[in-house]
Amino acid sequence: MKKLIVPIICLLCILIVLLSIDKITDGLMFFLNPTTTNKIEIKNDYYKSNNYIFVSNTDNFSPYGIEDILNIMYTLINSGTTDFTFYCPKEYTNCVNDMKEITKNKTLLTHLNNFVHPFNSFSSIEASISDSGEITIKVNYLYTKDEIKKIDAKVDELINTLITPDLTEDYDKIKIIHDYIINNTKYDLENTDETKSYTAYGPLFNGLATCNGYTDLMAIFLTKMGYDNYKVATTEETDNTTEGHVWNAVKVNGEWLHLDLTWDDPVSSDGTNYLYHKYFLINSEELTTADANITSKDHVFDKSIYSELKTTNE
């Protein structure tokens, strides 16, 4: 009997090793590649600790599904990290294919980009994906350091000037920023690179903006003022009925509301400047009502992505 104990123990050890071989292999891959990290070491000043229904920050960089990959991507972009490498576990057999599909899906990446601070938003993402499961992501961020420094200083100056002590209500604080941006900005019909109207720089320093510029600048103000917020993008239609649109969502008194400066600053045929509040701090039902007589689908958005904006009956 005693002679059988040693072989049995050996067989059990071999069995344990075989059952754990995938985890051991994954760990060995990390060990053999010292340039690879499995955590975000540094988060910049514009990192958002906020988690959302669609995507959230994570400290687990071994994905076991598409949701895990999206969380990794969000955490990476959200932190301001430029380069990052992680590995697909052997148990996640479709990881490489899923990763390739995600990085090719520009619409999905755009939606993902909307949840981070504008200063951490990317202009492009490069992905190197090996068949062995090594994934290296390079993020090219939209704003330069000089632009961030200049925008930051100007926004701080305006908040100190515009948000006076008598403004105690959230509605009034957000309204004065909304009105300031519109009163000092025109929609840029030309949309040239020189005006930078597609970023917060355009409306702030050149008085010109596309919907991206309006939305980025408002998002920067909202974040500095302490409001949880993100950008909402139109889900583009396949029949080319819309070219896409973006606006703000902000959480005020526990409720997520829409805020569309572009549509509150309409382009007039005679050059008259208008300032509306039709799309100012309204819920999704009110957004539908506001669009009732409009054929445009600019405010059609995917509620499985921007889930905080669902109405109570959805």
Give CATH 3.10.620 domain extents, the chain. 145-309
The amino acid present at 91, given as its one-letter code, is: E
Q: What does the pLDDT read at residue 78? A: 97
Number of H helices and E strands in the chain, helices first, is: 10, 9
CB atoms within 10 A of CB 313: 5
Residues 179-187, mean pLDDT to the nearest whole number: 97
What DSSP state is assigned to residue 39? Answer: S
Take residue 1 and report the two structure tokens written for it: 């009997």
Q: How far apart are CA 172 and CA 165, in angstroms?
A: 11
**Maximum separation of any 2 CA atoms in the chain, in Å:** 101
Lowest mean pLDDT, pick from 24-28, 164-168, 288-292: 24-28
pTM of the model: 0.86
CB atoms within 10 A of CB 92: 20
* Nearest in space to 77 (alpha carbons), one of 106, 119, 131, 26: 119
DSSP assignment of 266-305: PPPTT-------TTEEE-HHHHHHHTTT----TT---TTT
Lowest mean pLDDT, pick from 6-20, 39-53, 171-185, 237-251: 6-20
Q: What percent of the chain has pLDDT over 90?
A: 75
pLDDT digits (tens, 9 = 90+) for 227-282: 999 999 997 655 544 468 999 999 999 999 999 999 999 887 667 788 999 999 99
* Nearest in space to 214 (alpha carbons), one of 173, 248, 244, 243: 248
Contact 134, 29 (CB under 8 A): yes
CATH, domain 145-309, list 3.30.230, 3.30.70, 3.10.620, 1.10.10: 3.10.620
Take residue 236 and report the two structure tokens written for it: 């583009």
Q: What percent of the chain has pLDDT over 70?
A: 84
At 293, the pLDDT band (50, 70, 90 cuts) reads confident
- The enclosing H or E element of 249 equals strand 246-252
